[in-house]
Structure 1
């Protein structure tokens, strides 16, 4: 007899009066905190000004929240939100799309490069995507604690029965599948940066990131439940859902960036291991 996991986690970690701290929000906060520390370490390694960090964090936080929300609204449930526009602002009720967050972050990082760092966009992309891979894995663990975004029925021994949603059959814990892929990608990108000096090949880390995030996402979608009803027609017509279709351009961009990076000469950089502000002081 197979021993499935009967999952009934409380999405709320604890409450203080009317204020509740949810696992999902905690995973988000932990990801951004660790991500900030990692990017700061890379900035110091390359001698970038410390004052850029706060500005970059502001760009990323706003882009992630606004982009993920609008991505869900426009990509998945525009029919509903177009009739109930006030509901768009109720982000605490759920409804975030990683593809929307990715697009918004791309725009934000280009703006940061043009307006703040005055460096090639690859310089900041090849750092921030390392942190984003970690944040993505933690967010999927938050989805697990919310008992959401899981897969279809399975008889595999690691199937989860999501009791909170009234499920009686084990399902693929696709949140864990994605989280493991993203954590593995995070480890690979860290190794590339710190052990192989991959930052000397502009866009290489970013290209690997796009492939490592969106190829697993594309494949895992085959065992994931449909998120909105409108996707059934899309699957019947094209053999894939919206999440998969949105992933294809990013996979192709990743392949192009990797090829471009590997066919260009390596740029030899100096690494002062101190912030530029400290150097001036």
Structure 2
């Protein structure tokens, strides 16, 4: 294979520095993704004449729901042997630190966030949100679904900047050589997903303009889940497994966790037709 044909990828993990403070690309992408979704949903609430005071707490619920769900999803499904077998591991599950082999600890950030867990955490958080605001759960879920593609896109771009969740070895001309990992060309799985999620946003935004009456039926939420996790199921075939135990499974953990969300998405779309 002629490596001159491929994209050599080795960006600095730090986007910029403000004195002693370093802002990493991954955190910056998360912030941009959530901020864009915030603006999209705020506009949707305004179009639907939902009171501003009902929108105000939504960001807090979504932020912590996604973060907690994504963190627990990774720890419980991908690294249970590390996080559930010792007291130190249990602490690391909740705090952005890693205990050293001798004494002490170091700050490492939340290294390990699972999108499936983030989705589940978001749904739970929105359930608490609607209990507080008395809004329709289906209206809230549909509004969030329309904006979801923006956040999902930028999170995957953050993964790309971190050279994580890499693809399998390939000879396609758009292959990336992730120098932080090895020196062989691989599928840029993170980029595939980022593009797919950007397309999802434009599809849902266009559809909601044409069919605003469907907002509140759960159809957009169902479409979002079905699209994302069906794509996620098949894109896993181009990606390396994240943990060694997945090699013994007929399909990897990402695919296993996608199936319930696909079923839920199809159910919501069928329910909306009734």
TM-score normalised to the size of structure 2? 0.90
Is 1:136 the equivalent of 2:152?
A: yes
Among residues 51, 75, 78, which one is paired with 1:76 in the alignment?
78
Name the count of aligned residue pairs. Answer: 257
CA RMSD in angstroms comes to: 1.4
Tell me what 2:49 maps to: 47
Q: Secondary structure at the match of 2:190?
A: helix
2:168–2:239 contact (8 Å) kept in structure 1: yes
Alignment of 1:107-256 (within 5 A): 107-116=124-133, 118-165=134-181, 167-200=182-215, 202-234=217-249, 239-256=250-267
Aligned-pair CA distance for 1:137: 0.6
Distance 2:18 2:137 in 1: 43
TM-score normalised to the size of structure 1? 0.88
Q: Secondary structure at the match of 2:57?
A: helix
Distance 2:27 2:147 in 1: 17
Aligned-pair CA distance for 1:198: 5.0
2:15–2:24 contact (8 Å) kept in structure 1: yes
Listed as ranges, the gaps of 5+ residues in structure 1 are 265-281
* Higher RCO structure (Cα 8 Å, ≥6 apart): 1
Among residues 87, 92, 101, which one is paired with 2:118 in the alignment?
101
Q: Secondary structure at the match of 1:20?
A: strand
Aligned-pair CA distance for 1:33: 1.3
Aligned-pair CA distance for 1:154: 0.4
Distance 1:199 1:41 in 2: 17
Aligned-pair CA distance for 1:112: 1.2
Q: Secondary structure at the match of 2:16?
A: strand
Distance 1:198 1:11 in 2: 44
Listed as ranges, the gaps of 5+ residues in structure 2 are 97-107
Distance 2:24 2:12 in 1: 9
Tell me what 2:103 maps to: none
